[in-house]
Chains A and B, each alone.
Chain A
Amino acid sequence: METQTIATQEISEAAKQAVEPKELTGSAAVLEAMIAEGVTTIFGYPGGAIMPIYDALFDYADKLEHILVRHEQGGIHAAQGFARTSGKVGVAFATSGPGATNLVTGLADAQIDSTPVVCITGQVFAHLLGTDAFQETDVINITAPITKWNYQVTDATEIPEVLAKAFYIAKSGRPGPVLIDITKNAQVQKFQFKGYTPCNHIRSYRPKPIVRPQYIQAAAELINSAKKPFILFGQGVILGGAEKEFQAFVEKSGIPAAWTVLGAGAIPTDHPLNVGMLGMHGNYGPNVLTNSCDVLIAIGMRFDDRVTGRLDKYAKQAKVVHLDIDPAEIDKNVKATVPVWGDCKETLPLLTALVEQRTFPEWHQQFKDHTKEEIDLVIQNELNPTTDEMTMGEVIKYLNELTHGDAVVVTDVGQHQMVACRYSRFNKTRSNVTSGGLGTMGFALPAAIGAKFGAPDREVVAIIGDGGFQMTLQELGTIMQEQTNVKIVILNNNFLGMVRQWQELFNQRRYSFVDMQSPNFVKLAEAYGIEGFSVKDRKDLVGALKQMIEHKGPYLLEVMVTKENNVFPMVPQGCSVAEIRLK
């Protein structure tokens, strides 16, 4: 919260300076806007249509740090990682055409995971629009479905107002990505810059629904009448900065609480009322007991299909209280008995005041019984395997011990992601950075770079599979150049593991194109001047992890894990959460 106060102060300082108009180019106005918004770090890649902005950036190098990535997708993922750990808006620059289209995956990822990002793309001269000019692409229409807002600037005088709107829209309400496309003529055009006024109102935009007390009252009554209430919490708690308010609610109500992948860390993993992870590879109890609870309290989560499994068999017995800032989420997948529209930072304290202080010993015991079963059948084997080959889970277990649960864990997509989310300890909020909704392989390496810039004082560990790593490994170049202190752990099973698992379980072991050969990752790191090591034997594992953590600077550790291990529990597609399989 302190950082936000500082940012506001900076904005007002800039606003005060705004009295004397001065002649600026559109490019300089873009950068003035960045400074006024408190931006410190930009991830980007230059090119023809954004050259005027890069030329202006040359003079702003002391105020704005620019990180040259190796691919625009890396740039936007880094901006996402930055936003996720810092809570501020991430910024990415790219040129027109291919530069802009390379942002598409990251924009889609940020849109579905509600990550505040502002992207600036260069565009061809306005008079060339629609003429199939060199590196022209209709980025506004391409990105319309995957941005919260986008806008094409063709005149420099629009820039201050449009940038102010961009930042306001990206970070307010349910956050999301915004793309501003600026034609080259607008970048070079000089105009009288009258200063920068931050935006705090757009008449057609209602970022926060008005809190309606009668619904809070109804929700509290329902919760107070419940015998087996169950809380599901998602990233909304973190995005709303409502971790304390949430913890107070959980502790007073005494209700067991389970998290979605993106909600991890909103309360510490070890909190006694935290009963574990929801979803396809979540914990046994939270999944099974979803279909036993009598009141389901969903907070800042959107009932994704990976959480609900088969919808027509999902919590049919339960009354549902749904707290969300986005009215479109209410009743979208699961019908709410009581909808509580609003920012959970505002609604949770109101609800906490009305709920009775209770404990549910028998109900909690049911979760504990399920946990015990899961430990016996799954967790024990995963964390303390008796086989010679190493498991992904034991790597995470030792990592927890070394980082004490204080690290930012950045993951890619697949088996390693599920294992890391299941077994990582998160003491702090904003610790789990992963591609949840879009499931973007190649996310982790660039996102880890951004995560480190967003939280420079924290240990950042990227856990990546051998497949995903090879999708964006060019960002090792960025790490080399910036000496970004990220620790990279490649969990290598020489397979596209999650697809292989599905093929084993559902396609009669027909392993269709999942057998993946990898380069020598340690030598690859070495080529980038990054130290590395490959662990093939269990006896070396703890020492290698320790060496990685203690190493000053970036480090790559490859761990050869067992090839054909499956992530369990698992709710097979098309099954209800109660049909979760332990093997």
Chain B
Amino acid sequence: MSHEEEKKEFNITVYTENQIGLLNRIAIIFTRRKINIDSLNTSPSEVGSVHRFNIVITETEDVVRKLCRQIEKQVEVLKAYYHTNDDVIWQELALYKLSTDVIAEKVSVERLLRENGARTVAIRKDYTVFETTGHREETDNLLTVLQPYGLIEFVRSARVAIIKDSEGFNSKLREFERLEPGEEVIENEFLNDADKVFTM
């Protein structure tokens, strides 16, 4: 039974049309089962007009499989895949803001950057921003290191993941694209153009 199965992190990759409202339609498939989305990223894919979602949740495989099938039921979803962390190459990006004075006084910047694979992306009179990219424990690690120095701000991006074995779907996607090139979504032209529309 599914409840005996172990919960672990799964990376769900969803290929979709670029359609307003689809984010909500996908999100509610998780929320109706009261499943928290750990991370969600949307981006273009390698195929023009096809978008991809990278979603990370912690669940049993049985549930994840059902979720993927329900996601695929959405009219504008081309395909949904799930993978364990072992099946994907994944990265998260984190930014750390610290007082420049503190860093100048206390932190051995050079060593710290080297040890954590981080780099400096901005240096101002009042603050400095570091960036690192990697797995969760790597970005967490730098966070722990910097915490004692009065971290002003910290942010981590959603996870992006590339499927290790992705050749299969890429060719399928291109086939979709070749058969019927997608149209770009029509943005609501009236929203910022109130003067031109008929009013009551």
Contact = CB atoms under 8 A, between A and B. Distances in A.
B190 A127 contact: yes
Contacts of B188: 126, 129, 154
Interface stretch (B87-95, B125-133, B174-182): B174-182
Contacts of B16: 204
Contacts of B194: 127
Given A202-B75, A312-B1, A328-B73, A127 B24 contact: no
B166 interface: no
Interface in A113-155: 125-127, 129, 140-141, 144-145, 148-152, 154-155
A155 B193 CA distance: 13
A125 B199 contact: yes
**Range of interface residues on chain B?**
20 to 34
B135 to A, nearest CB: 32
Given A326-B73, A328-B66, A144 B189 contact: no
Interface string A305-332: 0000000100000000000001110111
A150 B74 CA distance: 11
A244 to B, nearest CB: 28
User: Which residue of A144, A150, A201 has the most chain B CB atoms within 10 A of its CB atom?
Assistant: A144
A332 B63 CA distance: 9
B148 interface: no
A203 B176 contact: yes
A188 B198 contact: yes
Nearest to B77: A204
- If over half of B's interface residues share one DSSP class (helix, strand or loop), that class is named, otherwise mixed; here it is loop
B191 A126 contact: yes
A513 interface: no
B198 A185 contact: yes
Given A155-B189, A332-B66, A127 B197 contact: yes
Interface string B52-78: 000000000000011001101101111
A476 interface: no
B199 A331 contact: no
Given A144-B25, A185-B198, A328-B69, A204 B191 contact: no
B104 interface: no
A158 B198 contact: no
A188 B20 CA distance: 23
B78 to A, nearest CB: 5
Nearest to B32: A145
B197 A125 contact: yes
Contacts of A328: 66, 69-70, 72-73
A303 to B, nearest CB: 13
A465 to B, nearest CB: 30
Given A125-B199, A328-B66, A203 B191 contact: no
Interface in B69-120: 69-70, 72-73, 75-78
B45 to A, nearest CB: 13
Interface string A328-347: 10111000000000000000
B72 A327 contact: yes
A205 interface: yes
B190 A141 contact: no
Nearest to B177: A203
**Range of interface residues on chain A?**
20 to 34
Given A203-B180, A204-B78, A158 B197 contact: no
A358 B65 CA distance: 37
Contacts of B198: 125, 185, 188-189
Given A127-B194, A327-B69, A332-B66, A204 B199 contact: no
B21 interface: yes
A152 B185 CA distance: 12
B104 to A, nearest CB: 47
A158 B190 CA distance: 14
B200 A125 contact: yes
Contact of A204 (B17, B28, B190, B197): B17
A296 interface: no
Interface string A2-20: 0000000000000000000
B186 interface: yes
A155 B186 CA distance: 9
A299 interface: no
Given A127-B190, A185-B190, A328-B73, A144 B21 contact: yes
Interface in B1-54: 1, 16-17, 20-21, 24-25, 28, 32
Contacts of B180: 201, 203
A311 B72 CA distance: 25
Contacts of B1: 312
A395 interface: no
A145 B28 CA distance: 7
Contact of B76 (A126, A144, A158, A204): A204
Contact of A185 (B24, B76, B186, B197): B197
Given A129-B191, A155-B189, A328-B70, 10 more contacts: A125-B200, A127-B191, A129-B188, A150-B21, A204-B17, A204-B76, A204-B77, A204-B176, A331-B65, A331-B66
Interface of A: 125-127, 129, 140-141, 144-145, 148-152, 154-155, 158, 169, 185, 188-189, 201-205, 312, 326-328, 330-332
8 contacts: A125-B197, A125-B199, A127-B199, A144-B21, A154-B189, A201-B180, A331-B65, A331-B66
